[in-house]
Amino acid sequence: MFLTNLPKFFGGFNKMTHICVICPTFASKQKPMETRQKVIDAAIRLFNNDNAATLEQVATAAGVSRRTLHRYFTSRENLLSGCYAQMLDTWQSAVISSYDNASTPLVQLEQLLYTAIDCGTKFTFLMKLQPADIKEDKNTPATKEQYEQIRDSLFKSIALLQKQGVIHDQLPRAWIRALFITMVSTTVTAASSGDIAGNQIKKLAWYSFSRSIGIH
């Protein structure tokens, strides 16, 4: 689910789908929002280790009662939607941050890969879900404007790098996207297995991906 909804930086793809979970209205907003976030954080930790974890287990891990959990999420599907929305927000914010800290198009592309790996690792369980497992909401928030600008800028940078011969100009953007997604999936799987040292895995991913699209 996470991988099939990676941002479409390479042209010819629809925008990401966003999830918005409607929560009850409370007189005091601060504490309910903190409690809701605690539930989501606990669910992410549990589902990453056990995708079949129950709502009771999530409530216990969050330090709240089952009744309190149900104030925010009336079903497992609602909770998964909340986790998915958290992933999308985390992803967009991370992309904006990494882009702002990168100096050249190549560095931006490299940082994008690292950001996708980090996000995939944090939300591993979402990678195993199918679109039908997530209940979408019609009140979907708009994509952040800065995020859209970054996506468009990176798209232009990739096209320019192809014209300059840095990236193979014979590779369609759809193929570059497929290689990118495959590399993220492979890296997250390797990180979960523990077979490769954590301090090496991102560099190995970039080396493999960059060489696959002609960067040397």
Assign 3-class secondary structure to the chain: CCHHHCCCCCCCCCCCCCCCCCCCCCCCCHHHHHHHHHHHHHHHHHHHHCCCCCHHHHHHHHCCCHHHHHHHCCCHHHHHHHHHHHHHHHHHHHHHHHHHCCCCHHHHHHHHHHHHHHHHHHCHHHHHCCHHHCCCCCCCCCCCHHHHHHHHHHHHHHHHHHHCCCCCCCCCHHHHHHHHHHHHHHHHHHHHHCCCCHHHHHHHHHHHHHHHCCCC
Give the residue, 105 or 22, on which the prediction is more confident. Answer: 105
Domain extents for the chain?
A: 3-21+73-212
* Band of residue 154 on the pLDDT scale cut at 50, 70, 90: confident
Helix 55-62 to helix 30-49 angle, to the nearest 10 degrees? 120
What is the reported pLDDT for 31?
74
Give the residue, 34 or 151, on which the prediction is more confident. Answer: 34
Most confident of 64-68, 96-100, 149-153: 64-68
* Band of residue 6 on the pLDDT scale cut at 50, 70, 90: low
Give the residue, 144 or 23, on which the prediction is more confident. Answer: 144
Give the residue, 29 or 126, on which the prediction is more confident. Answer: 126
Mean pLDDT of 60-75: 94
**Cβ within 8 Å of residue 201, ≥6 positions away:** 117, 187, 190, 191
Give the residue, 162 or 130, on which the prediction is more confident. Answer: 162
Mean pLDDT score across all residues of the chain: 81
What is the reported pLDDT for 192?
83
Architecture per CATH, domain 3-21+73-212, reads as: Orthogonal Bundle (1.10)
pTM of the shown model: 0.77
